[in-house]
Amino acid sequence: MGSRIRFREWFFLLALLVMVGLMMEGCGLIGQQATGAGGNVVKIGAALSATGALAREGELMKRGYELWKDTVNEKGGIDVGGKKYKVDIIYYDDKGDATTAGKLVEKLITEDKVDFIMAPYSSGITAAASAISEKYQKIMIAPLANADSVYSRGFKYLFGVLYPVGEGFGLHIDYLNTLQPKVQKIAIIYPDDLYPTTAAEVVKKKAEGAGMRVVYFQKFPKGTQDLSALISGVKSSGAEALITSGYFEDNVLMVKTAKELKLNVKYLGGMGAPTQPDFVKTLGKNAEYVIGMSQWEPTSGWKGPFFGSSQDYNALYKKKYNEDATYYTAAASAGGLALQLALEKAGSVDTEKVRTALRALDVETFFTPIKFDDTGFNRSGKGLIVQIKDGKLNIVYPEKLAQSKGVFPMPEWDKR
């Protein structure tokens, strides 16, 4: 018993020391940071998921921010009123959790004294985090949050780069309308979460407006591990097309289960997941012909200042990360770019001036055109429908940008 007690004493003393250390840090006695002493630094804060369920998306976003930052700094910085400002980004891990994200945004604003905030991934977390930045009247650029409800709260300092979820996801219906023979019955399944629910509801309305019948419309619990019951339901509903607004794992599970249960629909569509490189890696040959919705592809064909064209951006990304860029990364870079353009135009790092400049922004970039409406939402982009062919993404819609005609109806599982 004796030695054990001694250990406890040590432990307790250690705990005491740690507490003292914490208090000292809290009072700023140690680890004090130079707060923009040079003056020529734009300090940006970003809370992103490095752990938790959204860690992968968080990583892709971080690459986008980093690519923008590095490119800016290599070119000497942002030209603000004749002075060159370098970019510095401070990252924290929000663990995919809204509360933590809120806490971190406050830390970034009050402790790290950042000038601007880049938002986390997903609409739900951004909704929580932006409430904090709005309070402090700091500009938050949200590259990957596009549920309408995030912007309908009358916030003045929040800017969303990605165009609205409904319009993007609704492209599935636009595309289906161009296909022959016409699809009459569609099934929609989605997890119970802010963004997927919004998307599913919008697309349902749109499908009905286009004269289709939504024969199966089901919400499943977030993070479900089995979809066989739903897929069987889809099968007996006689749907010709199945689309989901779920996250990556939901999409993968949907395709796997559809194959397993021999659900032969003509059209199997998802949200952003099929455009992630992991999708083909995970599903292999079964990923073929799956259709996804992208906000941006290297072949999007936009061009604009700084990064040049979509292709140029992709080349830059490829040089660094050895794979093609996804819209997650591109959107993050575009968020940075929007801020950069506003800074240049404003000629000042003052929040109010930059905010006015952001509001007035109307420019085509490598990502999409960017023009924020009164709610701070960029509605001017255009989405793409892509299909996986030979393990690669092919743009099939809109026709103007299509690389090849889509394969429709998709071949039955047995006949591949």
Partner 1 sequence: MMATRLTFLGKISRPLRLIAYAALAILLGLIPFTADGYWVRVCTNFFMFVIMVEGVNIISGYTGYAALGNVVFFGIGAYVTAILMSTFGLDFFIALILAGIVAGAFAFGLGMPILRTKGHYFVMATIGLNELVKQVVSNLDSLTGGGKGISLPIPSMPPRINYAFFYFVMLAIAIICVFVVYRLSKSKFGYGIRCIKANEQAAGVMGINTTMYKALAWTLSAFFTGLAGGVYAYWQTFIEPPVVFDVVFAIKMFLMLLLGGQGTVLGPVIGTFVVEFLGELIWGHAADLQLGILGTLVIVVVLFVPQGLVEVTRNKTIGRIFSTRRVKEPQPVEF
Partner 2 sequence: MLQQLVNALLLGGIYALVGVGFSLIYGVMNIINLAHGALIMLAAYTTFWVFQLYGVDPFASIVISMALFFVIGFILQKYIVNRVVGQNVLMTMVLTYGFELIAVNFALYFWHADYRAVNPTYAGTGLEIGDVVVPYIKLGILTVAIVLTSLLYLFMTRTKIGNAIQATSLNKDAAQLVGIDIQYIYSFTYGLSAALAAAAGTLIAIVYTVTPSMEGGFLGKAFVIAILGGLGNSLGAIVGGVVLALAETFGVVVFGAAYQQIVGYVIFLLVLIVRPCGLVGRRFFSEL
Given the rule CB under 8 A, which residues bind partner 1?
4-5, 7-9, 11-13, 15, 18-19, 21-22, 25-26, 50-51, 92-93, 97-99, 102-103, 106-107, 109-111, 124, 127-128, 131, 134-136, 149, 153, 191-194, 197-198, 219, 221-222
Reply yes or no: is the peptide bond before residue 221 cis, omega within 30 of 0. no
Shortest distance, position 347 Cβ to partner 2, whole Å: 40
Nearer to partner 2, 87 or 234 (CB): 234
Binding string, residues 159-178; x marks residues near partner 2 by CB under 8 A: --------------------
Q: Of 228, 352, 360, 411, which one interacts with partner 2 (CB under 8 A)?
A: 228
Q: Of 36, 77, 233, 391, which one interacts with partner 2 (CB under 8 A)?
A: 233
DSSP string covering 257-287: HHHHTT---SEEE-SSGGGSHHHHHHHGGGG
Nearest alpha carbon to residue 166 among 129, 209, 105, 224: 209
Q: Of 41, 131, 210, 261, which one interacts with partner 2 (CB under 8 A)?
A: 261
Shortest distance, position 8 Cβ to partner 1, whole Å: 5
Q: Which does 99 bind (CB under 5 to 8 A by kind): partner 1, partner 2, none?
A: partner 1
Here the tokens at position 94 are 């929000």
Determine the length of the chain.
Answer: 416
Nearer to partner 1, 7 or 29 (CB): 7
Alpha helices in 214-350 (DSSP H): 228-237, 248-260, 277-283, 310-321, 327-346
Query: By CB under 8 A, which span of 142-150, 226-234, 354-362, 379-387 interacts with partner 2?
Result: 226-234
Q: Of 41, 59, 111, 315, which one interacts with partner 2 (CB under 8 A)?
A: 59
Binding string, residues 274-313; x marks residues near partner 2 by CB under 8 A: --x-xx-xxxx-x---------------------------
Provide the 8-state DSSP code for 193.
Answer: S
Q: Which does 66 bind (CB under 5 to 8 A by kind): partner 1, partner 2, none?
A: none
- State which H helix or E strand residue 106 sits in: helix 98-106
| Main-chain phi, psi angles of 52, to 5 degrees | 90, -175
User: CA 290, CA 270: separation in Å to the nearest integer?
Assistant: 8
Size of the site for partner 2 (CB under 8 A): 43
User: CA 416, CA 377: separation in Å to the nearest integer?
Assistant: 43
Provide the 8-state DSSP code for 146.
Answer: -
Shortest distance, position 341 Cβ to partner 1, whole Å: 28
Cα-atom radius of gyration of the chain, to the nearest Å?
Answer: 23
